[in-house]
Structure 1
Amino acid sequence: MSSNTSSFSLLEEEEELHEQNKLRFPQRINIALLGNSGVGKTCIISQYCKNEFRDLTAMTCCIDFAKKQFEDFLLCVFDTGGSDRYRGLATSYLKNQHAVIIVYDVTDPKSKRDIINWKNIVESFSPNIPIIFIGNKVDLISNEELKSMEQEQSSYFFNKTFFASALLNQSLDEAFNFIINQAKNKLNQSLICSTKKFNKTIKKDENKKPKASGCRC
């Protein structure tokens, strides 16, 4: 009997700890990578989530995703096909995302120009979702070109931009740490607003309750 009681108490403690963690951090964070085909979205995810780089990665068809477990949450990174035939399907996933990374290839001017179109698509579905840009494949350009791009980017785009290399695993941790914190802050604000709204509703319902009559039968 004592053994069963002890196990039950431990289970209760674990459930209580789980509930406390849910209040502090989301149990799961979803981040989608968008961008043109060939910019390296799949390579970025593979390097960040699995610590491996695949040089000959086939074009992503529809939607794929990878997971990365942290101490206090599970990160799910969605890899979306960038070709026109998959673009509509990719954007349909935005309603379930907590943040978005838009990727372009620093050696491909068209992919850079198109990030504004991707940003407009995202904001049309989720106006307040956190967004960052990643300029991938900096290993293919010179330091002088990179410095020039950094100066141009900071003066042209409002969204935070990270210049990275999936091949060298350069700046990926920095970029993901930034967007994860953005997603956490957004979710925590939503939780606070939901709690305030719930408490306000409860208080309003209590005020509607009829007051007890002073007459005693």
Structure 2
Amino acid sequence: MEPTHRFKIILYGNSAVGKTSIVNRYVNNKFEDDYISTLGYNVLEKIIELGKDKISFLIFDIGGQEKFTELRKQYSKGANAALIMYDITDRDSFNNVRNWYNDLIEFTDNARFILIANKIDLEDQRQVSTQEGEELAKEIFAEGFFETSAKENIEVDNTFLTFAKILIS
């Protein structure tokens, strides 16, 4: 059976916030301890069933460095969904969320999106409170706010499942 819904998802966020890790955890149920910066982009697909619906997520993981801005702009065309991510142990990544939001608005045609705070397994190094994340999500009109850990597989599947429900509603 062909998917009843297809979503092209773009990931936005600073380098090293865990974009690749969260996608690898979700699609392949794997986590790599060794950090390798994404050079260019990776595309992964995950098909899920949700009731009578079959949903295809085509996920574009583009390097977070500034040098990939044009690539991000190019691949954001036609995207109807996005994830904006930050790392709870990196205040700068949180402070840059508004810039990523502005890129999303500029590069996509009203893509629906959620905000993800990653690396909650590093609670003892937290620099950004849950409340700050929730407030920012409201401020930028995110359709959801989630705290995850790709490493410990905390809330990863639930984040994507909830996003799927939001997208098809």
Please classify the TM superposition score into its range, dividing by the shorter chain length.
0.7 to 0.9
When the two structures are superposed, what TM-score results if normalisation uses the length of structure 2? 0.85
Unaligned runs of 5+ in 1: 1-17, 186-217
- Name the % identity: 32
Q: Report how far residue 61 of structure 1 moved.
A: 1.1
Q: Report how far residue 127 of structure 1 moved.
A: 5.0
The amino acid that maps onto 1:107 is: T
The answer on whether the counterparts of 2:80 and 2:110 sit within 8 Å (CA) in structure 1 is: no
Q: Report how far residue 163 of structure 1 moved.
A: 0.8
Unaligned runs of 5+ in 2: none
When the two structures are superposed, what TM-score results if normalisation uses the length of structure 1? 0.67
In the alignment, which residue of structure 2 is the partner of 1:73? 55
Cα deviation 1:27-52 (Å, max 9, x = unaligned): x3211111111111111011000001
The answer on whether the counterparts of 2:77 and 2:109 sit within 8 Å (CA) in structure 1 is: no
Matched, 1:152 2:132: yes
Distance 2:81 2:69 in 1: 17
Higher helix share: 1
Higher strand share: 2
Matched, 1:166 2:146: no
Distance 1:54 1:169 in 2: 12
Matched, 1:84 2:60: no
The answer on whether the counterparts of 1:130 and 1:179 sit within 8 Å (CA) in structure 2 is: no
The answer on whether the counterparts of 1:42 and 1:57 sit within 8 Å (CA) in structure 2 is: no
Q: Which has the higher contact order (CA 8 A, sep 6+)?
A: 2
* Distance change (3 Å), C-alpha of 1:179 and 1:83: same
1:176 to 129, 137, 160: 160
The answer on whether the counterparts of 2:79 and 2:109 sit within 8 Å (CA) in structure 1 is: no
Distance 1:81 1:60 in 2: 5
Determine which structure has more spread, i.e. the larger CA radius of gyration: 1
- After superposing on structure 2, the runs of 4+ consecutive aligned residues of structure 1 that deviate more than 4 Å are none
The answer on whether the counterparts of 1:35 and 1:115 sit within 8 Å (CA) in structure 2 is: yes
Distance 2:124 2:129 in 1: 11
